[in-house]
Structure 1
Amino acid sequence: MAVKTQRYYVPAQSPWPIVGALGLFLLAAGAGMWAAGIAGVWGPVVFAAGTLVMTLMLFGWFSNVISESHAGLYSEQMDRSFRQGMTWFIFSEVMFFGAFFGALFYARVLSVPWLGGAGNNAMTHEVLWPAFDPVWPLVLTPGGIETTAMGWFGLPLINTLILLTSSVTAHLAHLALLRDQRPRVVQWLGATVILGALFLALQAWEYVHAYRDLGLRLDSGIYGNTFFLLTGFHGAHVTLGTLMLFIMWLRINKGHFTPASHFGFQASSWYWHFVDVVWLCLFIFVYIL
């Protein structure tokens, strides 16, 4: 029996990849200038421009993909390609956060104890910083920068509960979609988007508290560095995930998706659950331990 060959749709040239690359460049450049305190007000301006470009890119590219899907251009092979692409994307994000967690563990388990004289480094400790106390969180650096550690109770715990709840509401929205209960999908997915936005608002409040009350800053030694890099990049991923889910919510309200065909929704849900798992790791290793 002959195997039927499926047509594989190859899209026309698109401006969105280069627009996305430009947006990421502006985000990175703006964040770097802002964090380093150089170029005056241009750091926040460039960062805001990058955010705007990335938002336009996401809406534009999503719009093209939606139009192609509704036009019936995608086959089963194309659907498998989308799934593989999203799987590899999430895997790359796992490696991304793995590098930052690796830096955290290297500092905590190796570098800080070495500076305190652990292993064969007693002479290094005596010569360089004999008064250095190798305790994590490192609230007093060898250079004399003093800060206060961020506790796990309070805003971090509340944000953890918020993200865990949002993972449940996202799953309930998916179950409702599989049962073709569109009003429930709108409700549960809308609740997920609201919880994501609430998480970001509370994280911004936490950062204000860290800077103003705890003296915890990005330049507060290795503890401040790892704290803001890990939580900050996670916050960026929550922002992207919330935007993706909001787009899915708009599509649900426009009558898109069916119980049998809804990979855009499913991919956004995968990403959101990944973000939640990363936060649990952050909560344990950055805030508690």
Structure 2
Amino acid sequence: MSNAQPGGYYFAPPSHWPIVGSVALFFLAVGGVLLMNSHGVGWIPFAIGFFTLVYMLFGWFGTVIRESEGGLFNNQVDMSFRWSMSWFIFSEVMFFAAFFGALFYARVYSVPWLGDVDNKLLWPEFAAHWPTMGPYRPAEFTPMGAWGIPAINTLLLLSSGVTCTWAHWALKKNDRANLIFGLSLTIILGIIFMSLQAYEYMHAYSDLNLKLTTGVFGSTFFMLTGFHGFHVTLGLTMLTVILFRSVAGHFKPDHHFAFEAVSWYWHFVDVVWLGLFLVVYWL
């Protein structure tokens, strides 16, 4: 059954997109592990996984778009989408909560414990302060300052949240021009954010000796900021799809949950970055 009856529910036909997505994530994981272990060949599976993931996103989005524009979704389906997106964002909150928890444990418990009296015999030169590489090597690195690129990126993401809300307001007013303009500004701000973060990573590796191998600080720094960057990339992909749909005349003032879902996700990304800026860069 591939249609929805009034008051009933829409049952989608079998889809190959979940399998394609799984294959993409597998190649991304293999490539990421190889790259983190200094195997240059890791770029090949990583690139395959990345482009396959982008292909899957556009393909799966296209299928859902055609179903939506074909009038197959009713209010019950719309409600299920809202609950699904809500639980998805909640799972992402728990995902980052685990990483923030790892950083909190390292800073508040592990580092003071390694520097207490009982451990002075093992690591007499270790200074129990943050940031640190750990007790086995001295802190031969410089942490990333908060008031350079990170502060600029914070302003960029906060501004992108404003432009996204502006676009949503324009959609509710059926103002197509401001909708497209606001979405375009949001995407541009997101691209600038990612470009600056890429430059920040290169600066950290080449000038500050801040790497994934730089002990507990390096691993937590790149884990948190790197996964956030991945989420920004995914958000930009979704925003781009929404922009193309808006240009094509999709969405109505009273029927546009696809736009709302992407805006929820983008605001979530903004909030996570505020936490990163405070805990990772500033404090």
Same fold, TM-score > 0.5, yes or no: yes
What corresponds to 1:29 in structure 2?
30
What corresponds to 1:169 in structure 2?
163
Deviations 1:1-27 (A, max 9, x none): xxx971201111000001111111111
User: Is 1:181 matched with 2:175?
Assistant: yes
What corresponds to 1:142 in structure 2?
135
Mapped partners of 2:249, 2:211: distance in 1? 46
User: What is the correspondence of 1:94-243 to structure 2 with a 5 Å cutoff?
Assistant: 94-117=93-116, 122-123=117-118, 125-138=119-132, 140-145=133-138, 146-243=140-237
**Which segment drifts farther, 192-201 or 144-153?**
144-153
What corresponds to 1:62 in structure 2?
61
Mapped partners of 2:120, 2:144: distance in 1? 30
Query: Where do 4+ consecutive residues of structure 1 move more than 4 Å?
Result: none
CA shift at 1:283, angstroms? 0.0
Mapped partners of 2:110, 2:203: distance in 1? 28
Percent identical residues: 54
Contact 2:6 2:74 in 1 (8 A): no
Which amino acid in structure 1 is aligned with residue 8 of structure 2? R
Mapped partners of 1:71, 1:188: distance in 2? 27
Deviations 1:192-250 (A, max 9, x none): 00000110000000001100110000000000000000000000000000110011000
Which amino acid in structure 2 is aligned with residue 174 of structure 1? H
CA shift at 1:132, angstroms? 0.6
Deviations 1:107-164 (A, max 9, x none): 00000000001xxxx22x12210111011111x5312152111110110000000000
CA shift at 1:60, angstroms? 0.4
Gapped regions of structure 2 (runs ≥ 5): none
Q: Secondary structure at the match of 1:135?
A: coil
Q: Secondary structure at the match of 2:120?
A: helix
Mapped partners of 2:268, 2:155: distance in 1? 16
What corresponds to 2:79 in structure 1?
80
Mapped partners of 1:246, 1:283: distance in 2? 26
* TM-score, normalised relative to structure 2: 0.96
Mapped partners of 2:30, 2:198: distance in 1? 21
Mapped partners of 1:170, 1:128: distance in 2? 54
Mapped partners of 1:50, 1:42: distance in 2? 13
What corresponds to 1:264 in structure 2?
258
What corresponds to 2:70 in structure 1?
71
Mapped partners of 2:148, 2:6: distance in 1? 58
Mapped partners of 1:287, 1:170: distance in 2? 26
Contact 2:31 2:42 in 1 (8 A): yes
Mapped partners of 1:5, 1:243: distance in 2? 33
Contact 2:160 2:189 in 1 (8 A): yes
Mapped partners of 2:104, 2:41: distance in 1? 34
Name the count of aligned residue pairs.
278
What corresponds to 1:11 in structure 2?
12
* TM-score, normalised relative to structure 1: 0.94
Gapped regions of structure 1 (runs ≥ 5): none
